[in-house]
Amino acid sequence: MTALLRNITSNAFVEQTDSLQRPSSTLELEEADSLENLIKFVHIWFLSEIEANGGTRGRPKGSKNRASRSVVMEDDGYSESQNQSDQYGSGFSAHPSDADVASNSVKRRGRPRKRVAENGEEFDVESLVNSFLTSFRLKEFDESRRSNGDRDVTETILLVFDLIRRRLTQLEEAKDMAPGLSRRPDLKAGTLLMTKGVRTNTIKRIGHVPGVEVGDIFFFRMELCIVGLHSPSMPPWISMLVIHGGYDDDGDDGDVLIYSGQGGVQRKDGQMFDQKLERGNLALEKSLHRANDVRVIRGLKDVAGSNGKIYVYDGLYKIQESWVEKNKSGCNVFKYKLVRVPGQPEAFLLWKSIQQWKDGTAARTGIILPDLTSGAESLPVALVNDVDGEKGPAYFTYTPSLKYTKPFSASKPTSGCHCMGGCQPGDTHCPCNQKNDGLLAYSSLGVLLTNKSLIHECGQTCACPPNCRNRMSQAGVKVRLEVFKTKNKGWGLRSWDPIRSGGFICEYAGDVIQAFNAVDIVNGNDDNYIFDATRYYEPLEAVRDDSSGYGKAPFPLL
């Protein structure tokens, strides 16, 4: 459970080393009868938002010029290098070359070419993808799983997507040093999977999508497509909507939302017109009379500090009524009232509550201590019990670091780096990068980009600053956490923030015990246990030829 909402892409772990309008394609694009059209749909969806952001390039070749409203649209969670707090940058931009997207991801057929770097080195994308597909037994992805997924299939596809995306991010960031260029590894990873037929829920359907649960979190629009949650619409009605916020919508209390129609804005000069009952607006009207369920996906601001968005599946809604009203410019605008189908788990409403807790505009129910760390961490860790009257875990004292009960001999320090501005991706002269196979282990958002069992971070002998990207595990807690009481399993830890797959959470700190008698420590209390840090699982490379039929952890647990 992350952010009290599920994030099915979050295989997060801790290591001590470490629009102009709502995309018109949502409602208006022609039905995709082929894989190529589906990929075009995905890229046009992205490019429509580039134009909304004031992108300087024209619309992609072959797309239609669509009228839309003047709304500022933020990019999605791809922007791991868009972090405003990232002083060093990674050379990515939210605005890719339209030509790159159209030609590289849609028009090219056959085997993906090798990526060539400025220094002449290259890496084989095809081999990279095939290795992951083999590891997770997706090489032979049968038609039944492609048509109708389940939870296991959905989680596996999203995991493989993220592994490929992170690896492409790391490799391309190291090889392409020109600032301001976009590489969009999320689009490339998704396109590679779709061209190999690795996607699920390809059958268009009304209602819930198998394997996707209400409250699931996605960090990339491409993830919505490869699991079948978002696809070209089903004329003549609407099966899903992506609600980004920032529109001239009101009345959104979590269960009821007012959705403004499409059209009415001339793209080039911004001139306003009356909206017409056509295309998306007509489809919404037909869905109102048909009374079919509509999947609603919320596009929300990423709390990680980037300029991007994340997506929360908010469940099923029904269009209850529609009307026409005048906007501020005096033009007619279609309005649609959507009501959430009762009996579903909380999703967006819970998200809003969490934001209110963090902003201090609402009190968290059952709060005992607003910060049990007493200021030891940069972010507070709340202590919460809304189950019974217990005031906290027994014999518990918070510590932000490891405590050694016995003295030990420290190893001889090795020579550190001299990166005064922080370690940079692609810097082959950095000794810390050299210890990590010449690659920087983390993205600018702190996401782990490597699957190595050991990560070398900068240490005391390094000249880089404390906010160096290669000191990720040394800066304390990265997300808002709470220690909470469960009904029958003692005390647990969960996050108020969504956690990215590979994102550093916190250090597993406490007393370091070299030799112990478990009976003496537990003392018969079922709520206590010993965490054995000596456990080790085979790394991903060693799992590929496993034939036991059981999946294994893609990363070692340290």
pLDDT by residue for the chain (558 residues), tens digit each?
Answer: 333 444 433 333 333 333 223 333 333 333 344 555 555 545 544 444 434 333 433 333 334 333 333 222 334 444 443 332 332 222 222 233 332 333 333 444 455 555 544 343 567 889 989 999 999 999 888 899 999 999 999 999 999 999 999 999 988 888 765 444 457 899 999 999 999 999 999 998 999 999 999 999 999 999 999 999 987 666 688 899 998 864 445 556 779 999 998 888 766 677 888 999 988 899 999 999 999 999 999 999 887 766 688 999 999 999 999 999 998 888 999 999 999 999 999 999 999 999 999 988 999 999 999 999 999 999 999 999 999 999 998 888 899 888 888 887 777 777 899 999 999 998 989 999 999 989 999 998 889 998 888 899 999 999 999 999 999 999 889 999 999 999 988 899 999 999 998 999 988 888 887 766 655 555 555 556 666 766 665 555 444 444 443 334 444 333
Do 234 and 178 contact (CB within 8 A), yes or no?
A: no
Please report the pLDDT score of residue 183 as a whole number.
75
Residue 122 contacts by C-beta under 8 Å, 6 or more apart in sequence?
114, 115, 116
Q: Which of 6, 16, 1 is nearest to 476 (CA)?
A: 16
Neighbours of 344 (CB within 10 A): 16
Tell me the angle at which helices 125-135 and 151-175 cross, rounded to the nearest 10 degrees: 150
Q: For 104, which DSSP code?
A: I
Which residues, 6 or more positions from 1, have their beta carbon under 8 angstroms from its beta carbon? 494, 495
Q: Where are the domains of the chain?
A: 24-357
Task: Quote the CA–CA distance of 154 and 160 in Å, as a whole number.
Answer: 10
User: CA-CA distance, 137 to 488, in Å (whole number)?
Assistant: 37
The residue length of the chain stands at: 558
> Is the C-alpha dihedral spanning 351, 356, 359, 363 positive or negative?
negative
Whole-model pTM?
Answer: 0.74
Q: Give the pLDDT of residue 508.
A: 84
Please tell me the distance from the alpha carbon of residue 171 to that of residue 118, in angstroms, as a whole number: 13
Q: What is the pLDDT of residue 372?
A: 93
Which whole-number Å values give the CA distances from 413 to 449, 460, 469, 476, in the listed order?
26, 8, 20, 23
Q: How many CB atoms lie within 10 A of CB 397?
A: 9
Contact by Cβ (8 Å): 43, 102? yes
Whether 222 contacts 187, CB under 8 Å:
yes
Spatial distance between the Cα atoms of 506 and 473, rounded to a whole number of angstroms: 7
Instruction: Report residue 433 as tokens.
Output: 């990068």
Q: What is the pLDDT of residue 141?
A: 87
- Pick the closest to residue 119 from 417, 419, 435, 427 (CA basis): 427
Classify residue 389 as exposed, middle or buried by CB count within 10 Å of its CB (0-12, 13-18, 19+). exposed
Which segments within 173-221 are labelled E, that is strand? 217-218
Cα–Cα distance measured from residue 533 to residue 547, given in angstroms and rounded to the nearest whole number? 27
Q: CB–CB of 227/199 below 8 Å?
A: yes
Strand 511-512 and strand 403-404: pairing? parallel
Pick the CATH number of 24-357 from 3.40.50.880, 2.30.280.10, 3.40.50.300, 2.40.160.10: 2.30.280.10
Give the span between the Cα atoms of 425 and 538, in whole angstroms: 27
**Residue 405 burial by CB count (10 A; 0-12/13-18/19+): exposed, middle or buried?**
exposed
Long-range interactions of 140-145: CB distance < 8 A, separation 24+: 141/196, 141/197, 141/198, 145/200
Distance CA 551, CA 255 (A): 39
What is the rounded distance in angstroms from the CA atom of residue 7 to the CA atom of residue 154?
12
And the tokens for 447?
């996401």
Cβ atoms of 149 and 210 closer than 8 Å = yes
